[in-house]
Amino acid sequence: MAHYLVAGAAGFIGSKVSELLLADGHTVIGVDDLNDAYDVTLKHWRLKRLQALPGFTFAQFNICDFKQLEALFKAQGQLDGVINLAARAGVRFSVENPWIYVDTNVTGTLNLLECAQRCKVRKFILASTSSIYGADAPLPTPETADSNHPLQPYAASKKGAEALCHSYHFLYGLDVTIFRYFTVYGPAGRPDMVMFRFTQWLNEDRPVHLNGDGNQQRGFTYVDDIARGTILGLKPLGYEIINLGGHEVISINQMIAILEDLIGRKAKITRHPAHPADMLANWADVQKARDLLGWEPQVSLQQGISALVEWYRQERDWAKHIETPA
C-alpha cells in the first residue's frame, strides 16, 4: 500500500485517478480549491463520491499557497508520489485570462515540485496537454514533435510546467513522468468540453453551438483509460514525456451523429465561426506508452459515449442545470 497526494482531486481526471488508486488499496490525500473555473456542482459531486471511500482525505486550498502546501506535505509523513492534476484547463478561456493560467499551471506546479524535493518524494507526475504541439504537428503526433510554438496561453503555461519538471529532475534527481493527454471525455466530464456540452444540449433539446464546419478531428480518450495510464506512470522511469490518447479518430460531425443516435434526437445546430485557439486536427501516437507502460486505450468510442449518455440520463435532474458555455 502506498500513500499519494493528488492535486486537483475534485477535477475530472483527478477524481478518477484517486478512485482507481483507492480501489487498489492505496491511500490518497486530495487537494483542490474547488474554484469556479466551471460549474462547481460537478466538483462537489465527484468529491462526495471520493469522500465515501476508505483511505481518502481531503484538504481544500489553492496550490499557489506555498506555506499551506508545505505544511500539508510535512503533516503527511512520507509520500510515495505526487500527481499534479490541478490546472486551469481549456484553450479558449486562457486567451481571456492568461494570468490565472500561469498562476495555477506554472506557480502551482513549482510549489508542488519544491515541496516534493524538500520532503524526499520519489515520484512526480504532471498532467500536460496535447495542445502543446501547436499548429503543424504530424498526425498521429509523437512526443518528438515540436512543442516550442504553443498557440494559446494554456499550452504555453503547460510548457512552462514541463520545463520546471525537467529542472527538478536534473537538479534533485526527482523521478518525473509527464503525460500529454489528448481530448479526454466521459461521465461527469468538464462542461466546457464538446462531448459534455453536446450531450446536455441534445438531451434538453437546446441549440447545439458548433464552431467551424464540424470537420475538426479528434482522438477522443475515455477518462478511465487516461486514469489507468497515469497510474501506470507511477513506476520509476527517470524523466519521460508520454502521450496518452484514443485509438479512434472522428470528426465533430461524426461525434454529433453518434450522440443523435444514442439520444434519439436530431441536433438543432447553430453555427459559429471557427475559434482561432482551436486546433483543426489532434490525435496521438501512443507507441511510447505501449513500450514503457504496456498501455493501450481499451474503451471504444461507442462504449465511452454510451457510458456518458447513460450517466447523464441517471443524473439528469441536476446535470441539466450545469452551466455549459456556447
CA–CA gap between residue 182 and residue 127 (Å, rounded): 11
Amino acid at 53: L
CA torsion through residues 314, 316, 317, 321, sign: positive
The radius of gyration computed from the CA coordinates of the chain, to the nearest angstrom, equals 19
Q: Where are the alpha helices (DSSP H) in the chain?
A: 12-23, 40-51, 66-76, 91-96, 98-102, 108-118, 153-172, 194-203, 223-232, 252-263, 287-293, 301-314, 316-319
Is residue 154 flagged as an active site residue? yes
CA torsion through residues 306, 242, 87, 159, sign: negative
β-pair type (250-251, 217-218): antiparallel
Residue 216 has, within 13 A of its CA and on its CB side, a CA count of 21
Do the Cβ atoms of 46 and 15 come closer than 8 Å?
A: yes
Catalytic residue, from 38, 101, 133, 154: name it: 154
Angle, helices 194-203 vs 301-314, to 10°: value is 50
Please spell the DSSP secondary structure of 76-120, one letter per residue: H-S-SEEEE------HHHHHH-HHHHHIIIIIHHHHHHHHHHHTT
What are the CA-CA distances from residue 87 to residues 55, 78, 262 (Å)? 24, 24, 32
Q: Any idea which residues carry the catalytic annotation?
A: 154
